[in-house]
Structure 1
């Protein structure tokens, strides 16, 4: 039965197994950062300045959400047949229904990313420098909407921090992934020291964005070729959204499962059918 303590524990184990699989660091991920060192050297100053401005805009997301903030008014569109219109109503849904909504959302975003990657891949290295901030924005939007599907509100600054940590997780190495998972495991704890540790990460948000950019190095190498970059750009951006969608689903799913396990322990949860 969906929602029973046994079912929740079994699903939690699946997420934890997925987390262990993410610890494998491919050597080429490090080697692949070289193309971006070359790109920084060759790219005209005005394009580098444009990248800087766009990345600065992402920094505003942490504080206010900025132009990247998603609205919970979208909830009804994610659950069109259920009449769900608020986070409170979403929180009453079985987790498998949340999973279905996230899978549909990710599928739609992958189509959008494919089109975006193809469009920005036409011009080679010059449009590539524009593609990176655009893709960051699309992934932020996707993570926020995944949060909404699981009953969390991106209007809450705390949720925006969780989303940034999810983004950081995707581009981190083995040690980084382990550290992030440890932080996220403390995310909903009342421990003030734990909260301060996580909040201190806000100071390094810019480094997070540049690390994320570098992580695309080897994947974006062939997108630097004009025209041919159309094919590579479409494939790579679709893959990027797939990765962020998978990570967002698993990390938010784990959070929701643990939340319901705690409620179950306190006899505050009713069985889902």
Structure 2
């Protein structure tokens, strides 16, 4: 019964992702492009470097993988009870971090980019473990990156990313070794999507005083979206593993 409810939720989520952007969404995108030019190049450089380092650390490092033993012998409903608690905890953590760095203006606002990335990646690894996946396997860490990418991807890229998630169990067997994959990873496209998504709220966060409110609200929302994508990504895998 629980799996049937989840299947219906999953269908609604896919339809939502594949909708054309609203008029307001298109307006916001245009405004964001204009605001992009006002952001100091130093800030862009910090974001770009942070994302590049995060991709490499996620695939080759142990920072996020230590002590992340997967949960075993639990039902999907039990797992998702744990995931809801993880989401709640991390949203609060991200909001506090955003408020703290937002209150400090440009310098602390710049520090928010790598800090928030670290929070997001640790969050995704905790969610993966709650669903029973061992993130010590680099292919599971790569799945985490796909979830991250889908959360902040442009509308035209979402259908292909959803297909990758749906066919993951077959596609992961074709993946090359970690070092070979790293050599061909398109991190530039990856970071541009993310940077474009967060630029407008993060620029507002750099405004002293006002930035604290924006930072808390933006980080809370970013984690909320990431949690929704992660849950539905792992639901896809769970349902596909059930006997027909």
The TM-score, its normalising length taken from structure 1, stands at 0.77
Q: Secondary structure at the match of 2:191?
A: helix
Alpha-carbon contact 2:151-2:226 (below 8 Å) kept? yes
1:209 matched to 2:196? The reply is no
1:32 matched to which residue of 2? 32
Encode CA deviations 1:228-247: one digit per residue, 9 max, x unaligned.
10111011111111110111
What residue is the counterpart of 1:147 in the other structure? 128
Instruction: Give the C-alpha shift of residue 214 in structure 1.
Output: 1.9
Separation (CA, whole Å) in 1 of partners of 2:33 and 2:110 = 14
Structure-2-length-normalised TM-score? 0.85
In structure 1, distance between residues paired with 2:13 and 2:239: 15
Question: Which residue is 2:68 aligned to?
Answer: 72
- Aligned counterparts of 1:13 and 1:70: Cα–Cα separation in 2: 35
What is the CA distance between 1:91 and its match in structure 2?
4.2
1:158-212 C-alpha deviation (Å, 9 max, x unpaired): 011111111110111222111101111111016866x46xx68961124312321
Kindly indicate whether residue 154 of structure 2 is the aligned counterpart of residue 158 of structure 1: no
CA RMSD of aligned residues (A): 2.5
Tell me the distance in 2 between the aligned counterparts of 1:121 and 1:200: 34
* Structure 1 residues not aligned, in runs of 5+: 3-7, 74-86, 266-273
How many corresponding residue pairs? 235
Residue among 202, 207, 219 paired with 1:220 = 202
Q: Does 1:169 align with 2:164?
A: no
CA separation of 1:205/1:148 partners in 2, compared to 1, >3 Å: closer, same or farther?
same
| Separation (CA, whole Å) in 2 of partners of 1:51 and 1:243 | 20
Rg comparison, structure with higher value: 1
